[in-house]
């Protein structure tokens, strides 16, 4: 009998889930809601932000009658070596994503997660984590500039499939904010990727994930691949 694994990626605002070929997301963390949508699993594997473990553990045990398994950051996993002096200070989602990406690329890799924050992690040919960057995400910058209560949608002109990292100057406050908050991460990321590529004789593979991956993919000068399930793929490596 095939073991049915429910994988959960629990972030600050949303929980992503994957079970066999089905997947989805919901506001984080709503285990009771999820339990109504999936078949009862044999295992539950979890990547979770700090501070929710006890609550999630109790919810999973109550709903599914099994103890969940939590992935943890380690000094080394499947050939990838963490560069942090204290590996436990690295976010588990970043760790799992870079492990999965390195195994997929079989070489130097950059992982860009474009969510609430934009995180970048760099791993060389030998699997050595070179470190990374964390900057505000597109939505976070927009909300900071426009105010939390103001509805500022990205204008259609800025969500097309053009590859111009620098949108045209805005002719209203909304378009100025929208264009500026797209230009900042794309120019920053292109600079990071250009420098990493120069230091990697065999070349690099760049993976994008997160809710704004498509916006960056359309504008980055550097070649990129959208791979939304890196954390889930990393869970399968960490907790086989």
Pick left, alpha or beta for residue 20 (phi over 0 → left; psi -120 to 50 → alpha; otherwise beta). left
- Helices marked H in the chain — which ranges? 31-35, 53-64, 92-105, 138-146, 173-198, 213-217, 230-238
Active site residues per annotation: 93
* DSSP-assigned letter for residue 39: P
DSSP 184-205: HHHHHHHHHHHHHHHT-TT--E
- Max Cα–Cα distance, the chain, nearest Å: 61
User: What is the crossing angle of helices 173-198 and 138-146, to 10°?
Assistant: 150
Question: What are residue 162's phi and psi, to 5 degrees?
Answer: -65, 160
């Amino acid at each position: 009998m095939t073991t049915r694994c429910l994988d959960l990626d629990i972030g600050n605002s949303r929980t992503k889930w994957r079970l066999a070929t089905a997947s989805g997301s919901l506001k984080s963390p709503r285990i009771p809601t999820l339990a109504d949508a999936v078949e009862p699993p044999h295992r539950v594997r979890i990547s979770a932000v700090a501070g929710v473990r006890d609550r999630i553990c109790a919810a999973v045990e109550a709903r599914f009658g099994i103890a969940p398994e939590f992935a943890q950051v380690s000094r080394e996993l499947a050939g990838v070596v963490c560069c942090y002096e204290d590996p436990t200070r690295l976010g588990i989602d970043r760790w799992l994503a870079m492990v999965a990406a390195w195994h997929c690329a079989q070489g130097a890799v950059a992982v860009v997660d474009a969510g609430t924050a934009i995180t970048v992690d760099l791993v060389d040919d030998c699997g050595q984590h070179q470190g990374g960057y964390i900057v505000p995400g597109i939505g976070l910058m927009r909300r900071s500039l426009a105010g939390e209560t103001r509805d500022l949608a990205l204008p259609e002109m800025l969500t097309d499939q053009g590859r111009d990292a620098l949108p045209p100057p805005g002719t209203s406050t909304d378009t100025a904010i929208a264009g500026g908050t797209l230009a900042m991460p794309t120019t920053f990321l292109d600079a990071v990727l250009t420098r990493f590529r120069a230091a990697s004789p065999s070349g690099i593979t760049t993976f994008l994930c997160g809710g704004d991956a498509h916006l960056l993919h359309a504008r980055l000068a550097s070649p990129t691949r959208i791979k939304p399930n890196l954390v889930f793929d990393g869970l399968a490596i960490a907790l086989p």
